[in-house]
Structure 1
Amino acid sequence: MHNDLAQIGTPCCDLPQTKRGHERRLALLLSANELFLERGYDAVSLDDIVQHAGGSKASIYKYFGNKEGLFTAICDYRCEQFSKDICEPFNVNTDDLRTYLIQTLMNFKTQILRFENAAFIRLILEQAQRSPKLALYIHEQGPKHVQLTIASALTKADEYGLIDCKQPIYAAQFYFGIIRHIEWPVLMSVDIQDNDQEIYDYFSYCVDRFLQGHQKV
């Protein structure tokens, strides 16, 4: 995780050219991530981050531009990891579509139930209300990217005659509606009562209905 996080760049800002610079930048990212989750974005100052990580505010300005740039760099990494851990590209030659769709939902459930992921999503939602630019950026990097991956899978399945899906974007949006009854309670800190088997059975039922709606006539 730490090495990957260190490689996330910030537009118009420098990436360190030395090992010491990489270590300093990484320390700032890790400290900011920890403090934002612990206290919330507004309650954390640049001085707090520097005190926690060491170094100076000059390093923050050099590598991230400002506090928002630092937060965006963390969001980039977390969105990338979240998306990667949820769904991989669909291989029409080796993957069973039903299994792929159910497993993707199970992966989503696993990620959203992780405390740190849920806490950071809440933090993003809070900040997005104040910054439309950030909200759009995070949507493009996170939810939209995942939807497009599923839309691509549905497109391939249509091209190979597995289903009839001429509106894959709409279908992908509809498909991810299956997870909402888990996603929203988690984001509102409500405990999920269903066990893994119950959730799997629910996903299987919904995916079967989804695929029936896209059967070739």
Structure 2
Amino acid sequence: MQDLVQLEPLAKDVPPTKRGHERCLALLISATELFLERGYDAVSLDDIVNHAGGSKASIYKYFGSKEGLFKAICDYRRTQFFKDICLPFSLDTAQNFRNYLIQTLVNFFQHIKQPQNAAFIRLIVEQSGRNLDIAQHIHEQGPKHIQHSIAEVLSQAHKKGLLNCPNPLFSAQLYFGILRNIEWRILMGLPSDETDQETIEYIQYCVDRFLDGHQKV
């Protein structure tokens, strides 16, 4: 029943049965595969139903529309993407805090370099440029959400005296900027100039400089 609970914010009127859950999840997965293969505009609700089984009535019931289904897919993949990035942490020592900041960026890098994750982000960027409502939804639930999560961590560290961070949201944006060039190279399909180990060393270096910049003077 744990997976069923996870679907509740993504879809409405999901029957409280294993079969209803599986039908809803099948629509999400099938639509994702088709959107990645053909692009959002080239996929119809009939295509999704033919691929997943069921009926268009199920799509309307669970998601309201094709756009609603796409938003649900974005939320579902966001949940899957971020669940292993920001892991539980301990702020007992400065070393634990440093390790947490490094590991969070390493986890993000490991996720973003997976081909399907990168392909889906490209799809999101393409569709966001055509639909302001989708763009706003994705920004609120994706980048803004994760920035606020890290900002809360920085705020707690500030209160414990582990760093000087009077504006944690600004600092969270600066922190994620460490991976911005790497992220864009992956999304544009450019070959990497570094090995994974070199990227990890780069992350460690940048986190140390980030912490240096947040010390009391």
TM-score by length of 1: 0.92
Deviations 1:126-179 (A, max 9, x none): 111111111111111111111111111111111111111101111110111110
Partner of 1:20: 19
Structure 2 distance, partners of 1:3, 1:161, is: 39
Please give the alpha-carbon distance, in whole angstroms, between the structure 2 residues aligned to 1:120 and 1:8.
22
Match of 2:123 in 1: 123
The answer for the alignment partner of 1:37 in structure 2 is 36
1:112 matched to 2:119? The reply is no
Question: Following TM superposition, by how much is the alpha carbon of 1:90 offset from its aligned partner in structure 2, in angstroms?
Answer: 3.7
The answer to whether the 8 A contact 2:36-2:119 is kept is: yes
Q: Sequence identity of aligned pairs in percent?
A: 62
Write the mapping of 1:21-100 to structure 2, written as runs, cut at 5 A. 21-93=20-92, 96-100=96-100
Q: In the TM superposition, what is the alpha-carbon distance from 1:85 to its structure 2 partner?
A: 2.0
Deviation at 1:89, TM superposition (A): 4.7
Distance in 1 (alpha carbons) for counterparts of 2:73 and 2:60:
15
Partner of 1:145: 145
**SS class of match (1:48):** helix
- Quote how far apart the aligned CAs of 1:8 are: 4.4
CA distance in 2, matches of 1:67, 1:24: 16
3-state SS, counterpart of residue 86 of structure 1: coil
- Residue 195 of structure 1 deviates from its aligned partner by 0.7
Deviation at 1:124, TM superposition (A): 0.7
Q: Secondary structure at the match of 1:85?
A: coil
Q: CA deviation at 1:192?
A: 1.4
CA RMSD of aligned residues (A): 1.9
- Are 2:26 and 2:52, in contact at CA under 8 Å, matched by a contact in 1? yes
Listed as ranges, the gaps of 5+ residues in structure 1 are: none
Aligned partner of 1:159 in structure 2 is 159
**1:10 deviation in Å?**
4.2
| TM-superposed deviation, 1:99 | 1.0
What is the match of residue 209 of structure 1? 209
2:163–2:215 CA contact under 8 A, matched in 1: yes
Give the superposition deviation at 1:16: 2.1
Structure 2 gaps of 5+ residues are: none
Structure 2 vs 1, CA of residues 76 and 165 (structure 1 numbering), >3 Å: closer, same or farther?
A: same
Cα 1:19–1:8 change in 2 (3 A) is: same
Describe the superposition over 1:94-121 as per-residue Cα deviations: whole angstroms up to 9, x where unpaired.
6711111111111110010011111111
Partner of 1:187: 187
Which deviates further from its counterpart, 178-187 or 91-100?
91-100
Task: Quote the offset at 1:35 in angstroms.
Answer: 0.8
Query: 1:5-48: per-residue Cα shift (whole Å, max 9, x none)?
Result: 9724446x422244332222222111111111111111111111
Deviation at 1:84, TM superposition (A): 2.0
Shift of 1:93: 2.4
Q: Secondary structure at the match of 1:145?
A: helix
Give the 3 Å change call, closer, same or farther, for CA 83–19 of structure 1 in structure 2.
closer
